[in-house]
Amino acid sequence: MSECNSLYFLSPAARAFRYTPLAAALLLALAPAAFAERAANVKELPAVSILGNPEDPQSSTGSAYVLTERELQKFSSSNANDVLRSVPGVYTREENGLGVFPRISIRAASTGRSDRISVLEDGIPAAMAPYANTSAYYFPNMGRMSSVEVLKGPEILMHGPHTTSGAVNLISTPIPEQAGGKLNAEYGSFGALKLHAHYGATEGQWGFLVETYQAQGDGFHDIDRSDRSAGHDIEEYMGKLRWTSDANATYAQEVELKLLYGVEVANVSYLGLTDADFKHDPNRRYGLSELEQMDRGRKSASLRHVFGFTDNTKLTTTTYWNDTYRYYDRINQINGVNLGGVTSIVNNGLANADLIQDILDGTADTTHANGVRYQHGDQEYISKGVQTQLDHWFVTGALEHELMVGVRWHEDTTKNQVKGRSASIYRQVNGRLVYDRTVLGAPQQGESEAWSGWIADRIRVGKWTWLPIVRYEDIESKANLAKDATPAQRAARNTNSLTSTTAGLGVNYALTEQWTLLAGVHEGFAPPGNGAARGTEGEESTNYEGGVRFRQGSFGVDAIGFLTDYQNATRSCLVANPCPGGIVEGTQQDGAKEVYGLEFGLFADLYQGAGFTVPLRVAYTYTDGEYTKAADNGSVLKGDVIDYTPKHIGQVQIGLEADSGWRAYAAVNYAAEAYTSPSAGRSGVDDRFLKTDSLTTLNLVASYPVTEQAEVYARLDNVFDEQAITHRGADGARGNAPRTAAVGLRLSF
């Protein structure tokens, strides 16, 4: 049977309170009778489902999808880009082919590093600095998550600050009610090793969980003239401790402490290939990039307290602290040419093209004083805050209400060049890097402080469900970019202050027990970051969605159209994602744009009987749009295309599930070509090197239960070894991974 038959996806207000069966039971105890039946259905979430109970689709007011632990285990991928392909309306693209830097966009919101979505873990902000530095160079490790939620529509106003498109909430491993644990060990191509293990228990009023995730590999890129791998090494450790009040206590309470420590070293590069070199060998890396390395990690702590005042009212408060460091040695100049313009010289046959190609090949020495310049990004980000929300259930006449009122205080602190070493200069001599000198730089620091609040009321009456919602943001930011500025000057310069009040409304109408109509509209907002000049506005948009939903047994279809009107579109300017004109710092306002499209999702059991089931999952998104107003600086013009937004993306999964326990699945993934620059569609512009390739890949996986506690599996990704250009940044063509294989073991104990 389809696992979509048993779901009640709680409202965002209650979502943080439903990570464990015990929490679900407590919520049931707190909820009034009108909600008891719904709360009783809090069981395993379905593989891919719309927000709400599939047997009662009118309970959901917007577009939302859930990937459960079982769905995540189908292909056992720790690559966030791979995992999220199965969700309509989500666009992902590979930068290094291994998902080290997830680039996630929802409804074509942005082309950067997931910088226009709200990234959450267990319902609280998880990006390294969501207000100060909006690009998510840190993304929670998908390999240790128990499920993933993707929310779109008006309900994302509950989860700012990025509300222009959607939110991705990654749910960590819950504390089990019974003593036990799991272990997943995997070995794969290119020396890939993975170990994920956790153990926990609940005894009386106390529960705990200990967990580790470790992975390493050599990567699939071959670095010219080097014995250094292009691989990675990850270690993460997490612990949880929970206390729950006695069943006879006057007030029901729960307190959960969560601690996380993780480090990661990845030998990744910002330098891609010329198109000719990519065509000849997409797995090549130029030798002068061999010293590039990302060293990053995170320490975090959160304390969540749930207090039940009455049977109808509860208060959930979470205090959180994240300390993320990022030390990156990366190339930013080759023979005097800044990164972002190196491979284009060769591609377009510009001046010195032959010399640059020979330097990339290692057959020519550098001739510029800054031969090969490595930038040292020594950065630390501290984000902390307190978030609290009051939920109150009540009835007025024929109306059932779920009132949600919340407030959050958040502070980001960003530090750069803490050790003062800004760059190292090398010369290339006879194909080898020879150290020349070090360039020093002054430390920089930025700060952002934000107060936000929201109020929503989920109203049910007859066949209707209404969700009016309002969100408020008050943001103060500061960046002392001038190294010689006095404290007084730093306080006066590079500061910005802005407020934003946004509103939304989601509506559902149950035509029948199977058919539901849904519609929603909301104002979106995204902060500009702490480097923004005084008077810089945040991104603003008006978002519309509407569609139909059908559920009958194991069959379901969702078709949702969307239109997003960006009155003030912005983008973060990064070395990895330069703004037009080669700008790599700050935030650029891009004028206005419109994006529209259709999301289609389907799940069904095509056949059931004779001891097996054939499940089917389909996710498809069509997107189009253009810039409707030029940027003030002329970098984007009216009529320009929306970059890195393929018109067609989709995935089809089909499986074979035997009643005896063995399973096999196939997934076909498709992404159409996309422009990589807004100017690519202009008349007279040569777009040969301003677009990605279309790509179709096939993944296969099969698993077999050896015992009730042990299962073995084998996976083959990219079966036909198809590789294409999926990204063109920071400099050069970059693609997906070649054919890879893996075998693994899962144990329950």
What is the residue whose two structure tokens read 């239109």? 563
pLDDT at 724 > cutoff 90 = yes
Reported as a pLDDT band with limits 50, 70 and 90, residue 418 is: low
Residue 478 belongs to a domain: no
pLDDT at 14 > cutoff 90 = no
Reported as a pLDDT band with limits 50, 70 and 90, residue 632 is: confident
pLDDT at 439 > cutoff 50 = yes
SS (H, E, C) 158-184: HCCCCCCCEEEEEEECCCCCCCEEEEE
Q: In this predicted structure, what is the pLDDT of residue 579?
A: 63
Q: In this predicted structure, what is the pLDDT of residue 16?
A: 34
Select the more confidently predicted residue: 411 or 4.
Answer: 411
Q: In this predicted structure, what is the pLDDT of residue 700?
A: 98
Residue 484 belongs to a domain: no
Residues sharing a CB contact under 8 Å with residue 2, sequence separation 6 or more, in sequence order: 46, 47, 553, 554, 603, 604, 605, 615
Mean pLDDT computed over 230-252: 95
Task: Tell me, yes or no, whether 142 and 208 share the same domain.
Answer: no
Residue 351 belongs to a domain: yes
What is the residue whose two structure tokens read 């890097």? 433
Cα torsion 86, 91, 97, 103 to 10°: value is -130
Task: Tell me, yes or no, whether 551 and 607 share the same domain.
Answer: yes
Rg over CA atoms, the chain: 26
What is the residue whose two structure tokens read 């014995």? 227
pLDDT at 133 > cutoff 90 = no
pLDDT at 654 > cutoff 80 = yes
Reported as a pLDDT band with limits 50, 70 and 90, residue 590 is: confident
- The answer, yes or no, to whether the previous bond of 31 is cis (omega within 30 of 0) is no
What is the residue whose two structure tokens read 């989500």? 90
Weakest-pLDDT range from 90-99, 123-132, 290-299, 458-467? 90-99
Reported as a pLDDT band with limits 50, 70 and 90, residue 52 is: very low
What mean pLDDT value characterizes the chain? 87
Residue 55 belongs to a domain: yes
Task: Tell me, yes or no, whether 520 and 623 share the same domain.
Answer: yes
pLDDT at 41 > cutoff 50 = no
Weakest-pLDDT range from 105-109, 139-143, 430-434, 473-477? 105-109
Residues sharing a CB contact under 8 Å with residue 349, sequence separation 6 or more, in sequence order: none
Mean pLDDT computed over 241-246: 96
Mean pLDDT computed over 304-310: 93
d(CA 648, CA 634): 29
Reported as a pLDDT band with limits 50, 70 and 90, residue 482 is: low
- Last-in-domain residue among 109, 137, 172: 172
| CA-to-CA separations, 269 to 335, 344, 546, 724, 729, in angstroms, rounded | 17, 17, 42, 18, 10
Q: In this predicted structure, what is the pLDDT of residue 112?
A: 74
- Last-in-domain residue among 172, 193, 224: 172
The tokens of 673 are what?
Answer: 């070509």
Residue 109 belongs to a domain: yes
- The answer, yes or no, to whether the previous bond of 154 is cis (omega within 30 of 0) is no
pLDDT at 207 > cutoff 80 = yes
pLDDT at 32 > cutoff 60 = no
The number of residues making up the chain comes to 749
Per DSSP, which regions of 610-738 are E strands?
A: 612-629, 648-658, 663-671, 695-705, 710-717, 725-727, 734-735
Q: Which helix (H) or strand (E) holds 276?
A: helix 275-280
Model confidence, pTM: 0.89
Residue 503 belongs to a domain: no
Q: In this predicted structure, what is the pLDDT of residue 446?
A: 86
Whole domain around residue 111: which residue ranges? 3-172
Task: Tell me, yes or no, whether 268 and 160 share the same domain.
Answer: no
pLDDT at 616 > cutoff 60 = yes
CA-angle at 203, arms to 199 and 204, nearest 5°: 155
pLDDT at 20 > cutoff 60 = no
CB 80 within 8 A of CB 99: yes
CB 496 within 8 A of CB 528: yes
The total number of structural domains that make up the chain: 2
Name which of 196, 259, 126, 179 is nearest 746 in CA terms.
Answer: 196
d(CA 615, CA 341): 48
Phi and psi torsions of 730, nearest 5°: -70, -25
> Is 679 in a helix, a strand, or coil?
helix
Reported as a pLDDT band with limits 50, 70 and 90, residue 55 is: very low
Residue 496 belongs to a domain: no
Q: Kindly report, residue by residue over 543-565, the tens digit of the pLDDT.
A: 999 999 998 888 999 999 999 99
d(CA 678, CA 645): 11
Kindly report the CATH number assigned to the domain that includes residue 86. 2.170.130.10
- Last-in-domain residue among 121, 153, 172: 172
Q: Which helix (H) or strand (E) holds 509?
A: strand 495-510
Task: Tell me, yes or no, whether 210 and 83 share the same domain.
Answer: no
Task: Tell me, yes or no, whether 726 and 683 share the same domain.
Answer: yes
| CA-to-CA separations, 117 to 90, 103, 454, in angstroms, rounded | 11, 10, 18
Task: Tell me, yes or no, whether 151 and 271 share the same domain.
Answer: no
Mean pLDDT computed over 11-29: 33
pLDDT at 137 > cutoff 80 = no
d(CA 118, CA 126): 8
pLDDT at 34 > cutoff 80 = no
Mean pLDDT computed over 425-432: 97
Instruction: Out of 54-68, 210-224, 483-497, 531-545, give the one with best mean pLDDT.
Output: 210-224
> Is 278 in a helix, a strand, or coil?
helix
Mean pLDDT computed over 573-586: 60
pLDDT at 681 > cutoff 50 = yes
Reported as a pLDDT band with limits 50, 70 and 90, residue 528 is: confident
Task: Tell me, yes or no, whether 727 and 699 share the same domain.
Answer: yes
Task: Tell me, yes or no, whether 189 and 163 share the same domain.
Answer: no
Phi and psi torsions of 27, nearest 5°: -60, -40
Mean pLDDT computed over 668-689: 94
Q: Which amino acid is at 519?
A: A
| CA-to-CA separations, 701 to 3, 132, 619, in angstroms, rounded | 19, 41, 19
Q: In this predicted structure, what is the pLDDT of residue 11?
A: 32
Q: Note every long-range contact of 363-366, with CB atoms under 8 Å and residues 24 or more positions apart, other chains counting.
A: 363/431, 364/428, 365/427, 365/428, 365/429, 365/430, 366/334, 366/335, 366/427, 366/428
Q: In this predicted structure, what is the pLDDT of residue 420?
A: 73
Weakest-pLDDT range from 113-117, 185-189, 600-604, 697-701? 113-117
d(CA 144, CA 324): 18
Task: Tell me, yes or no, whether 142 and 49 share the same domain.
Answer: yes
pLDDT at 48 > cutoff 70 = no
Reported as a pLDDT band with limits 50, 70 and 90, residue 490 is: low
Task: Tell me, yes or no, whether 160 and 117 share the same domain.
Answer: yes
Query: Given the DSSP bridges, would you call strands 284-285 and 222-223 parallel, antiparallel or unpaired?
Result: parallel
Q: Which helix (H) or strand (E) holds 533?
A: none
For the chain, percent of residues with pLDDT exceeding 90: 70
Q: In this predicted structure, what is the pLDDT of residue 572?
A: 65
Task: Tell me, yes or no, whether 251 and 288 share the same domain.
Answer: yes
Residue 120 belongs to a domain: yes
Mean pLDDT computed over 104-115: 82
Kindly report the CATH number assigned to the domain that includes residue 454. 2.40.170.20
